[in-house]
Structure 1
């Protein structure tokens, strides 16, 4: 019989049994040589077993209902396969589009899908808690986008030990063979495309800055390195003078953009590696009335509006809906024991005011 060791919640463990003998009330002790007091009404073994079962069941119920972030299920327990998804975020337009893709895949494939993520993309601790919660649910497969790849490895190992396949999406887990497949944009190639357009806009020379969403997420570092690397190899006249990290916090990114503009009065361009940074950069440039080319990443409604108005030059967009859909699709295949591709490129597009209404672009944007 398996022992309930506890259910991990934020700030501790629910349902963990207490080790050691029961403690005596404060102020009482058993004197040497004194016989231990025996109850005149000993519990029958079957009563003890029944109470233990009730206690264990109650602890399990409280553990599951008392933990936040378990996500939203397509349908209840109905004998269908269960796929748990933990993303980097929950409420932003990008993650809302990813969620829509995962839920659509669940409906089409006839499986239950749960979707959760931290409130902010800097809350690594919260995301690790959500990984642990997902493992407690013992899904048939687990789909995961890492905020901090190295911080997640220990928690992810639980799924491997339990025989549950892991599908990574958006960000992989470098140096680890835990994910059986990774569904993601080729972020280096996408950022290189942004760098190419920046160099063309600047005529091959000028100072630029980078507003990156993260220094720990593979997504953020690959976009940073893809942009800087392409310029170094192909446009040596374009000089990257500053790189700042904003944790996908638009207010923080606006402060950074303002500081960069003040520190570099001759700045010619800004590249932001996500939607929050792009909107922050463009709005700061517009507010300060500076002549700076802004290129972004992703395609939220505000960013698209700024591109239509000419405040931003353009952006690279992923296909978040498709990414979420494919990730669940591959999770179902892996749970069935089918072979899945280790790397799946979900694609990207460059868009600006000239091609924004093209059918292919409209399928990828998520405004």
Structure 2
């Protein structure tokens, strides 16, 4: 059965609620005040929280605010217990994100009805989320052979040609083929790395304790040099350094250098891949309200709202028309890395005109 956390400062009421739930075979943990309740919620990650509003030290609203600010607890459903029935109290709780109310005194049936309803809704949400993950993995499984086969075929065919015509091939022609083999090898390496990285991130996403470990790792990165160096390096590979427009503010983000580098690499690469030579790529960064912001703006073909909503690791929209190489995995990896570190990645696009990828990560100004 689901684990339920009961936060109630009145011992007699807490005992009654706990006994009713345990009689129905629920796994119940309890806390006598809001501060203890928040810590238990973070450590135990219950499937449902029942919380009194009026408590010493930290009231129910304070509990709600702290839970919603923490990525590992922000989606746990919460039922408020209250002796109040004023509309202002109900409205305040709902605005903070409460899922339901029980007004004291309540009956056993009212308590169990509220609990079973919330748990059923939460299970439906989780099942839908798992369905999307399964669909995503299934599509990746289908796309993986093709994406790996293309560079691998290039390597094998060119290598075979070099072996067969070793005695007659011109030196310059051989060098060109070796360079193409190197490019295909690099592409194959990146594809393999991205597929393995996605699988690891998807696994971590389903394990709240691993998410909490990432959030509390204490790793930090300075941003400006990483963004600037990557932008120049990636754009030079496709002869588009002149298209870059950089406006960067230094800041420190709460993420390791390697993971921050990966996020930046993928969103810049995406902008260059889906826009034409001569069209500007604007990269801006700034710090605001405890978050570091980076915007990558390109003026390529863009995406429709439907395409953005369906963005997945396996999708490359209009591939038959544009034939860009790649698995389409980059943006979803950047999004997962960002969200696993307490941030957000949003896309705003106007088809045929402009796409803006906006990443926000917790951080601080560089001293």
* TM-score band w.r.t. shorter chain: under 0.3
TM-score by length of 1: 0.25
Which structure's residues are more often helix, by fraction?
Answer: 2
TM-score by length of 2: 0.25
